[in-house]
């Protein structure tokens, strides 16, 4: 097999230039939207109570599966997010996917599917006081700070694009969407954020 050592990936938002729009009067500050760049993502399917996998995860990723729907667990800069009653996504720094998938390749774990989906999905982070207002323009989810609290992950539609939205902090959200939809999502959000002011930072 040819070596892939010198092949470098590009972010799903590669080529989209930095842009900004100043916060107008009355705005509580610009929303900062940044491309997180290359980020490894692993789709995991198994029973929530699979002890072999849970133990392997605490060893390899640093945290266990969130069994409760719409929740994610954090370990440093890695996360495990609930996608379905038997489906999760692991987010980890670029280059770590091989180690994690190898660590979960356990015959004694039974019915388990581990798939590296890093290249299928892109990711952005939005931060700023008006983040919830901007996202609510294109999504039917309840973005009230008492409802969509840190630690909650929800899958929904952002306008026409299917996305996974994670609340990282009071006014910080991470959005994961299909790579091919990421430029659309960024364009959509830039437009939504004009009235608050924004800054887009490429990876």
Partner 1 sequence: MLLIKCPFCGDRDELEFSCGGEAHIARPLAENTLTDAEFADYLFLRDNPKGVFLERWIHTDGCRRWFNVARDTVSHEIIEVYPMGETPKTEAAKAAHKASWRRQTAAEAAAKPASPAGRSGS
What's the min distance (Å) between Cβ of 188 and partner 1? Answer: 16
Say if CB 29 and CB 130 are below 8 A apart: yes
Beta strands in 85-171 (DSSP E): 87-93, 113-116, 121-127, 153-158, 161-169
Cα–Cα distance for residue pair 88/73, rounded to 1 Å: 11
- Out of 15, 26, 49, 84, name the contact with partner 1 by CB under 8 A: 84
Asked whether position 67 contacts partner 1 by CB under 8 A, the answer is no
State phi, psi for 202 to the nearest 5 degrees: -65, 165
**Binding of residue 49 to partner 1 (CB under 8 A):** no
In the bound state with partner 1, the residue whose beta carbon lies nearer, of 9 and 69, is: 69
**Alpha-carbon torsion angle 121, 91, 166, 75, nearest 10:** -170
Query: Applying CB under 8 A, which of residues 22, 95, 145, 162 lies at the interface with partner 1?
Result: 162
Residue 154 interacting with partner 1 (CB under 8 A):
yes
Least Cα distance to 65 among 77, 42, 78, 82 occurs for 82
CB of 157 to partner 1, least distance (A): 5
> Which range binds partner 1 by CB under 8 A, 10-18, 80-88, 98-106, 123-131?
80-88
Tell me how many residues contact partner 1 (CB under 8 A): 12
**161-169 and 153-158 strand pairing:** antiparallel
Q: Among residues 31 and 166, whose Cβ is nearest to partner 1?
A: 166
Task: Please report, as ranges, the residues that interact with partner 1 according to CB under 8 A.
Answer: 69-70, 83-85, 87, 140, 154-157, 162
């Amino acid at each position: 097999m040819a070596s892939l050592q010198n092949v470098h990936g590009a972010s799903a938002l590669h080529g989209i230039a930095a842009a900004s729009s100043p916060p107008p009067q009355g705005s509580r500050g610009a929303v900062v939207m940044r491309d997180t760049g290359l980020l490894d993502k692993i789709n995991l399917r198994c029973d929530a109570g699979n002890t072999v996998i849970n133990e392997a995860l605490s060893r390899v990723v640093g945290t266990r599966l969130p069994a409760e729907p719409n929740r994610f667990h954090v370990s440093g800069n890695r996360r495990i997010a609930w996608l379905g009653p038997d489906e999760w996504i692991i987010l980890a720094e670029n280059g770590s996917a091989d180690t994690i998938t190898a660590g979960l390749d356990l015959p004694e774990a039974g019915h388990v599917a581990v798939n590296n989906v890093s290249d299928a999905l892109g990711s952005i982070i939005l931060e700023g006081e008006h983040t919830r207002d901007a996202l609510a323009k294109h999504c039917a989810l309840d973005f009230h700070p008492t409802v969509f609290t840190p630690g909650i992950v929800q899958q929904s539609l952002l306008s026409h694009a299917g996305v996974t939205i994670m609340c990282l902090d009071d006014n910080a959200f991470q959005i994961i969407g299909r790579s091919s939809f990421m430029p659309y999502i960024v364009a959509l959000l830039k437009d939504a954020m004009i009235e608050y002011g924004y800054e887009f930072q490429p990876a």
